Amino acid sequence: MQVITIALAALAVSFVFSMMGAGGSQILVPILFWLGLDFKTGAIPIGLLAAAITCFSAGGVCWRRGLVRLSTAWPFAVAVLAGSPPGALLARPTSSTTLMIVFAAVNIAVGLLVLRGRSMVRGEELPRRKELTIALIVGFGIGFMIGFIARDGGPFTMAILVLMGFEAREAAGTAPVIVALGCLVAFAVHAFDMTAGWNIVLAVSAASLVGSQVGARYMSERMESRTIRIMFTAVMILVGVVILIQAL
């Protein structure tokens, strides 16, 4: 029964967050914890795996529909990939309570940032050199947080892209391409300490693939940018507050 419940949760989370350029680990990890998995050795690695599958799947859909800006995606992705392993390695000796507090604080902050949704460039594109600098510095930080607290980084990446002048749908399409590989690498590091069984791994993988395909297709055809931001902010703040209360 636990496996079925976890799979349904992964299906729902991947469906919703694939519409927002994210893998959903920021929501799935606490849900898995509430469903009985250990936060550090169960919820985090499974959440990262689900996020990686969701991002790869949704990114593929958005790529085919012309919603990915590759010139921005690749330097971000390289920096994310570089930052993810050190974050995951630092998380291994860190207590679950500390991870939960950081996780909650970042959830709330990113939710508010996405809701703000204003561009820092007014009606013009950033110079290429400035765009690369932002991509490398911010991308490394996003990768580090992916590894450290199992945040897939998609929502924060989407928020940064919006601030860089991206239209929200293009930001939601580019973000999963940027963070997908970082999530997979972080999962690989956390998998050494994983206590979840293979039945959970396979069930979550299948559910995330199905949910992300449906969600990404729906987003690319019907979703409005403001709806995405409001829905995302409400969920992020709610979960962040609940996790913070539990950790304290």
Name the nearest CA neighbour of 20 among 55, 56, 72, 65: 55
Exposure letters 156-195 (e unless 16+ CB within 10 A, then b) = bbbbbbbbbbbebbbbbbbbbbbbbbbbbbbbbbbbeebe
Confidence (pTM):
0.79
Task: From first to last of the 248 residues of the chain, give the pLDDT tens digit.
Answer: 789 999 999 999 999 888 877 888 878 988 999 898 988 889 989 999 999 999 999 989 888 888 888 888 889 989 988 888 888 888 777 776 777 787 778 778 777 776 665 555 555 567 778 888 888 998 898 888 778 776 777 777 887 887 787 877 788 889 899 888 888 888 988 888 888 888 999 999 999 999 999 988 887 777 666 776 677 677 778 777 877 776 77
State residue 219's pLDDT score. Answer: 79
Report the C-alpha gap between 149 and 141 in whole angstroms.
Answer: 12
Q: Cα(238)–Cα(205) distance, rounded to whole angstroms?
A: 26
Q: What number of other Cβ atoms are within 10 A of residue 223's Cβ?
A: 17
CB atoms near residue 35 (< 10 Å): 16
Output the CA torsion sign for 161, 105, 58, 115.
negative
The 10 Å Cβ neighbour count of residue 123 is 6
Q: What per-residue confidence (pLDDT) applies to 188?
A: 87
Region for residue 167 given its phi and psi (left: phi exceeds 0; alpha: psi -120 to 50; beta: otherwise): beta
